[in-house]
Each structure stands twice: as structure tokens, then as C-alpha cells.
Amino acid sequence: MTFKSALKTAALALAIALPAAGAFAGGSYVNVEQYGYGNAAGGAQSGWGNDMTLYQNGGWNTAIATQDGYWNRTVVGQSGYGNSASSSTYGSGNVTGVAQMGNGNSADTTQWGNGNAVGVIQVGNGNSASSTQVGSGNVAVIVQN
């Protein structure tokens, strides 16, 4: 798989995950969609207007997301085996996107503040990424092949 086709696959995986039906409560939205076997997902939200979508296809993938605040958005899409993603967001108007394809990839993101954005795209096997943002208006993008 070329890097360009892998990026297209990541975009497609996230696009497929976004419109799926999920739970809506207190102005916040949660959607979890899993295929394969042995996958685990967890999400927690407090505040108002938060959106969370977790999509996994393959086996033994793990996705955990926590949002505390207002108008935060987290999207995690994983395809393959043994991938893990953890996202924690505290504040308002933060955006997190994680797309992982392959096996044994790991991504850990944390945001403290307002208006931050982080994107992690990992293609291949055994990649590891970590991002911590403190303050407001920070942007981080991690791409690994």
C-alpha cells in the first residue's frame, strides 16, 4: 500500500464512521462501531455539545476517549490488529483525530485548554505517537508510515 493510498483509506475510514447512528444525551453525542473480534472501546463525556466517534475494524484494537468541557470533537478510526488509541480532552472547542492502519500502532493524545487541534495518522506496523497540548490555539499533526 502506498502512502498516498493509505491516506485516502484513512480519510475514507473516518468519513464512514462520522454519519453512523449513535447515542445522544445532554447535547453530547457518542458513536461506537466495531467489527472483528476482541476489540474494546470506552468513552466518557461531561459538559455540553461534545461529539465522539470511535470506529474499529480488525482484532484486539483498543480505543479510549474522555472529554470534559464544551464543544469538543474526537474521532478515532483504526483498522488492523493490536492498535491502541487514547484521547483525553479538557476545555472547549478542541478537536482530536486519530487514524491508524496496520498492526501494533499506539497513539496517546492529551489537550488542556481551548481551541486546540491534534491529528495522528499512522500507517504500517509498530508506530507510536504521543502529543500533549496545554493552552489555547495549539495545532499538532503527526504522520508516520
The pTM of the full predicted model, rounded to 2 decimals, is: 0.82
pLDDT at 7: 47
Q: 14-18, 19-23, 107-111, 118-122: lowest mean pLDDT where?
A: 14-18
Query: Per-residue pLDDT for 18 more than 50?
Result: no
Name the more confident of 26 and 42: 42
Cell of 36: 472483528
Question: Which are the contacts of 12, defined by CB distance < 8 A and separation ≥ 6?
Answer: none
One-letter amino acid of 41: A
Split at pLDDT 50, 70, 90, the class of 25 is low
Query: Per-residue pLDDT for 110 more than 60?
Result: yes
Residue 73, CB half-sphere, CA atoms under 13 Å: how many? 10
Longest dimension (CA), the chain: 42
Q: Cβ of 130: how many Cβ atoms within 10 Å?
A: 12
